Chains A and B, each alone.
Chain A
Amino acid sequence: MSKQTKLPIGIDSKKISGELFTLTYGALVAELLRDLESPAEVNRQLDKMGYNIGLRIADDLLAKNAQIGRCTDMHQVADVLAKVALRTYLGVSAQVTAWSAANDEFSLLIEPNPLTEFVEVPPELAQELRYSQMICGAIRGALQMLHIEVQTVIVSDVNQNTEIRVKFIRILQESVPPGEEY
């Protein structure tokens, strides 16, 4: 590559107002609530969007943080998620708590959750709507890119600390599409 690419260099240092981000996310959720029939459907859509974001964010994260090595167990994965990934992309760090006995399941406590600043979910929606579902989708998507299949569920959300439960399912085996060998 001799020609200089127009990609903004040093993008990782670029910042944008947190409020713009929060409000934009709010606009999206509000639009989804108007557009789709049920809160459950909104959750599904948020999860899907998060998943798409996660697929791309994994590359971004690994490209910019060369010090992250290969994770060999879920403790390391949890550490990277809580200390690097969430800090980089949401600006907050999370606590890892509530490990299961088999060490395959943990909770991420995000506090304060930047997505829910300014947010009050009306009581009739509070039962069903998972406001921060997008984070779940993003974690799932990003780990899938690294061949780790997980299940992510929001335990608590707006009005309390956001708690996300991550459960390890299996390692995805590399499967090369026919005709595309290395």
Chain B
Amino acid sequence: MQRIGSNKQVGILDKSLSRGKSEMNLSSFALLFAEMVRFANNRSNSIGDLQDKLAAYGKFVGSRLLDVIVLREKGYRRETKLLNMLMFVKSNVWKNLFNKEADKLERSNDDPCQYLLIEKEPIVNTYISVPKDKGSLNCASFIAGIVEAILEV
């Protein structure tokens, strides 16, 4: 790293963090996401494979997004309790991503380790038409990847 003393451009870490109020046209995102699904689809053999790839994209997004949100909204204080963290995902993270809270957070009755985060209309599913031979494909695995990465860190 030749950051100190070099008078080239400022590195990305030296810039101040944006306020993050920028908004983007949904069509752009939908089209971009569609292209990503198409690319991943061409390079995977099974539906599971494809969903894994989408989840991997999501993880990439999630792990970066967590830092940004925590720094901006929590003064870099992380949640350590499970339930608080889940609530954080449900409200803060969802608000940052989709401008609204997730619909529901439930705890499974059978398994105390299982929680359910419920979103009625995931935005990524809205614009992808699933062909018949891939009936079980769910593009929300992208969002699942985001959540997974956030909880993992």
Contact = CB atoms under 8 A, between A and B. Distances in A.
Interface of A: 8, 11-12, 14-21, 23-28, 30-32, 35, 45, 49, 52-53, 56-57, 60, 88-91, 114, 117-120, 134, 159
Given A16-B24, A49-B39, A24 B32 contact: yes
Given A15-B23, A27-B60, A28-B57, A21 B28 contact: yes
A33 to B, nearest CB: 12
Given A8-B126, A26-B60, A117-B18, A20 B43 contact: no
Contacts of A32: 39
A31 B123 CA distance: 22
A31 B61 CA distance: 12
A24 B26 contact: no
Contact of B23 (A17, A53, A117): A17
A30 B24 contact: no
Interface string B16-54: 001010111111110111011011000100000000010
B97 interface: yes
A18 B18 CA distance: 11
A27 B18 CA distance: 20
Given A17-B24, A21-B29, A28-B32, 10 more contacts: A17-B22, A17-B96, A17-B97, A18-B23, A23-B60, A24-B36, A28-B36, A31-B60, A53-B35, A91-B23
13 contacts: A14-B26, A15-B26, A16-B98, A17-B98, A19-B65, A20-B61, A21-B24, A24-B29, A24-B57, A27-B36, A27-B58, A28-B39, A31-B60
B67 to A, nearest CB: 10
The B contact surface, by secondary structure, is helix
B12 A120 contact: yes
Contacts of B29: 16, 20-21, 24
A139 to B, nearest CB: 13
A156 to B, nearest CB: 12
Nearest to B11: A120
B64 to A, nearest CB: 6
Given A17-B97, A20-B29, A119-B12, A27 B57 contact: yes
B99 interface: yes
B109 interface: no
A52 B65 CA distance: 28
Nearest to A54: B31
